[in-house]
Amino acid sequence: MSERTYLYLLRHGATDANQRRPYVLQGQGTDGPLSQAGRTQARRAAEALAHLPIHTVFASPLKRSRETAAIVAEPHGAQVRVVPEITEVDVGEWEAMSWNAVMERYPEQYRRFMSDPAVFPYAGGESYADVARRVVPALEAILREHDGHVAVVGHNVVNRVFLAHLLGVELRRARTLRQSNCGINVIRRKGDEIELITLNGVLHLESE
């Protein structure tokens, strides 16, 4: 195992689904590309990271993650590697629904989910604990197995559960950890110690 690793964990750039009002849920079942705004966000994130010696960028299998990763990797000539375990949460029957529609059609499941998403899953989908079981080992493996500087383009829930793990925040409260599109979290591993340095850095996006 190498002595030190810096991992830059991003949420993908915005998609049309992210920009819809009211907001609609976008899980594994929605696999559209970045919007024009999302591509701009990704370019700004790439510029913010361009001075760092990033040698590998990891992405989920979903287009919005892979497209963001390619933009981030370009200034470095870095390889993009797909990691299936960091794909977004499966929101099941709530895919492409607004929260208001979910409240109306699934009132009891919505209530349970909001009370503790670590225990109660999206209807027909995953809970936060399900996501954590695949995401935490995958991201910890990247930190252990790669030295220097790497980037990972994840998703809203994916990032939240890993950050909650690092911070010691109860998983049921992971929804309180904001993850902006193309916000940057900086995570450092030094020896066996993993530490969150920056949470959801967005200074590179403030001119939007």
Within 8 A by CB and 6+ apart from 135, the residues are: 85, 86, 154, 158, 161, 162
Phi, psi of 10 (to 5 degrees): -110, 155
Asked about 12 being catalytic, the answer comes back as yes
- Gap between the Cα atoms of 208 and 206, Å rounded: 5
Beta strands in 42-109 (DSSP E): 54-59, 79-82
Count the residues in the chain.
208
User: Among the options 67, 88, 95, 126, which is catalytic?
Assistant: 88
**Of the residues 12, 146, 149, 204, which is catalytic?**
12
How many Cα atoms within 13 Å fall on the side-chain side of residue 74?
13
Catalytic residues: 12, 88
